[in-house]
């Protein structure tokens, strides 16, 4: 879940249709959380792509409930050809949200959030402080673990 370690900027959109259009037209960056509200609640779509993939190739759909974030779907948007099909995926997720799991969405500057991070040196996964890891100028879930810090 790469998005959990990235500070985001909220970009309000009218609905799932506008979110899908921005993604398929390449008009959304990897730090944007596209957000809309409807009668079913408040939703966000965020890029969950590996740094080697284009933004939103993998997309997570989140729902905010009582100021907490829950991931309700994970969509490989790169395999979906049209914005209409992607809209349908978002609408289906929002209408029938099987709550996959509680997650976090960092909005604005990171304070003290922790996230699973892959070490850019040895490749091990570790739980690290997002703000501390940003000093290594890493993104999309990469950082430097404590074992490798002495190489830096």
What's the CA gap between 21 and 96, in Å, rounded?
21
Phi, psi of 9 (to 5 degrees): -115, 130
CB nearer Zn ion, residue 20 or residue 144: 144
- 139 alpha-carbon distance from chain centroid: 12
Among 72, 119, 141, 143, binds Zn ion (CB under 5 A): 119
Region binding Zn ion by CB under 5 A among candidate stretches 11-19, 60-68, 85-93, 144-152: 144-152
Among 28, 45, 115, 145, binds Zn ion (CB under 5 A): 145
Among 122, 125, 135, 149, binds Zn ion (CB under 5 A): 122
> Total binding residues for Zn ion by CB under 5 A?
6
**Nearest approach, Cβ of 144 to Zn ion (angstroms)?**
6
Radius of gyration of the chain (CA): 16
CB nearer Zn ion, residue 56 or residue 136: 136
Among 121, 129, 132, 134, binds Zn ion (CB under 5 A): 121
What's the CA gap between 59 and 17, in Å, rounded?
15
For the sheet with 32-38, list strands across it.
9-12, 32-38, 41-47, 59-65, 68-75, 101-103
Among 1, 91, 134, 148, binds Zn ion (CB under 5 A): 148
Region binding Zn ion by CB under 5 A among candidate stretches 21-29, 52-60, 61-69, 118-126: 118-126
CB nearer Zn ion, residue 101 or residue 152: 152
Closest CA to 56 of 30, 87, 91: 30
Tokens matching residue 119: 């070490």
For the sheet with 114-119, list strands across it.
125-129, 114-119, 142-143
Residues that bind Zn ion (CB under 5 A): 119, 121-122, 145, 147-148
């Amino acid at each position: 879940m790469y998005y959990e370690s990235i500070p985001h900027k909220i970009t309000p959109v009218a609905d799932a249709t506008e979110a899908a259009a921005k993604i398929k037209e390449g008009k959304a960056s990897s730090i944007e959380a596209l957000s809309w509200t409807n009668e079913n609640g408040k939703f966000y779509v965020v890029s969950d792509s590996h740094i080697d993939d284009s933004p939103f190739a993998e997309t997570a759909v989140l729902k905010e409930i009582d100021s907490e974030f829950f991931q309700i779907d994970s969509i490989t948007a790169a395999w979906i050809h049209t914005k209409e099909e992607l809209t349908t995926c978002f609408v289906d997720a929002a209408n029938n949200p099987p709550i996959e799991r509680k997650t976090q969405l960092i909005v604005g500057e990171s304070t003290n959030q922790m996230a699973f991070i892959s070490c850019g040196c040895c490749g091990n996964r570790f739980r690290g402080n997002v703000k501390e890891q940003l000093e290594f100028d890493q993104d999309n879930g990469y950082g430097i673990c404590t074992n490798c810090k002495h190489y830096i």
